[in-house]
């Protein structure tokens, strides 16, 4: 019995020393998710890779005057949590529409944009360019019927007046949608009207 206990003690000692000499297996680090794209109908790009879409210069903007609300894209760092949106909204920012992935079109001033950029839950803030308002399937020839959507909360009357000044005929409007007759050559100018949100074929 004593000899058996001795053998068991030796075996246990050997196993213990062997296990202690083995290197500890570290858990594999969680892979960092790739940067999320911005998926617009008119363009797709990945801000996290410093990608910018190739846009015509006349359909881009460089910014807004201080104090003037304008249209921006705010992209969060991952699947959007209500608390993240609430933090941005608390700065006076107006959310207008969701943009995949993890982003929103918003209305805010340049000062608010700078505040939003500093939030740890926000990965990117960029301007919403006029080029993004043009449907890729627009027919650009002759004089045609088009549908124009006005930004939520914007003054439809002011947009109608701005379009009339361009030579566009507004046939009707229902809510934020305008039915227009326009020369296709004016489509880019229509997109440059700040409170125009979207232009498509009728």
Q: Provide the pLDDT for residue 6.
A: 45
On the question of pLDDT at 65 being above 60, the answer is yes
Mean pLDDT of the chain: 90
* End-to-end Cα spacing for the chain: 97
Note whether 186 and 146 are within 8 A (CB).
Answer: no
Residues 6+ away with beta carbon under 8 Å from 63: 70, 110, 127
Strand partners, 126: 73
Note whether 25 and 19 are within 8 A (CB).
Answer: no
pLDDT digits (tens, 9 = 90+) for 26-42: 555 556 779 999 999 99
How far is the C-alpha of 161 from the C-alpha of 55, rounded, in Å? 27
Common-topology check for domains 38-44+69-128 and 133-201? yes
> Which of 7 and 63 is assigned the larger pLDDT?
63
Q: Provide the pLDDT for residue 13.
A: 56
Q: Provide the pLDDT for residue 9.
A: 53
How far is the C-alpha of 25 from the C-alpha of 17, rounded, in Å? 17
On the question of pLDDT at 156 being above 50, the answer is yes
How far is the C-alpha of 76 from the C-alpha of 194, rounded, in Å? 24
On the question of pLDDT at 4 being above 50, the answer is no
Q: Provide the pLDDT for residue 107.
A: 99
Looking at domain 38-44+69-128, what is its CATH homologous superfamily? Answer: Peptidase S8 propeptide/proteinase inhibitor I9 (3.30.70.80)
CATH class of 133-201: alpha beta
Would you kindly state where each structural domain of the chain is located, as residue ranges? 38-44+69-128, 133-201
Note whether 72 and 125 are within 8 A (CB).
Answer: yes
Q: DSSP of the chain, one letter per residue?
A: -HHHHHHHHHHHHHHHHHHHHSPPPPPPPPPPPPPPPEE-SS-EE-GGGT------GGG------TT--EEEEEEESSSPPHHHHHHHHTTTPEEEEEETTTEEEEEE-HHHHHHHHT-TTEEEEEE--GGGGB-TT---SSEEEEEEEEPTTS-HHHHHHHHHHHT-EEEEEETTEEEEEEEGGGHHHHHTSTTEEEEEE-
């Amino acid at each position: 019995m004593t000899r058996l206990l001795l053998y068991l003690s030796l075996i246990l000692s050997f196993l213990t020393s062997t296990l202690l000499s083995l290197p500890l297996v570290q858990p594999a680090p969680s892979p960092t998710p790739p940067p999320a794209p911005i998926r617009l109908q008119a363009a797709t790009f990945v801000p996290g890779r410093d990608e910018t879409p190739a846009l015509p210069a006349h359909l881009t903007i460089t910014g807004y005057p201080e104090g003037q609300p304008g249209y921006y894209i705010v992209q969060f760092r991952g699947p959007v949590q209500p608390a993240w949106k609430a933090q941005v909204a608390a700065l006076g920012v107006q959310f207008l529409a969701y943009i995949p992935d993890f982003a929103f079109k918003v209305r805010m001033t340049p000062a608010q944009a700078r505040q939003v950029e500093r939030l740890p839950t926000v990965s990117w803030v960029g301007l919403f360019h006029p080029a993004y308002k043009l449907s890729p399937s627009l027919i650009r020839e002759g004089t045609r019927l088009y549908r124009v959507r006005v930004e939520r909360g914007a003054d439809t009357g002011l947009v109608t007046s701005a379009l009339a000044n361009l030579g566009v005929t507004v046939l009707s409007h229902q809510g934020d949608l305008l039915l227009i007759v326009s020369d296709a050559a004016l489509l880019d100018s229509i997109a440059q009207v700040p409170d125009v949100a979207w232009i498509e074929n009728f």
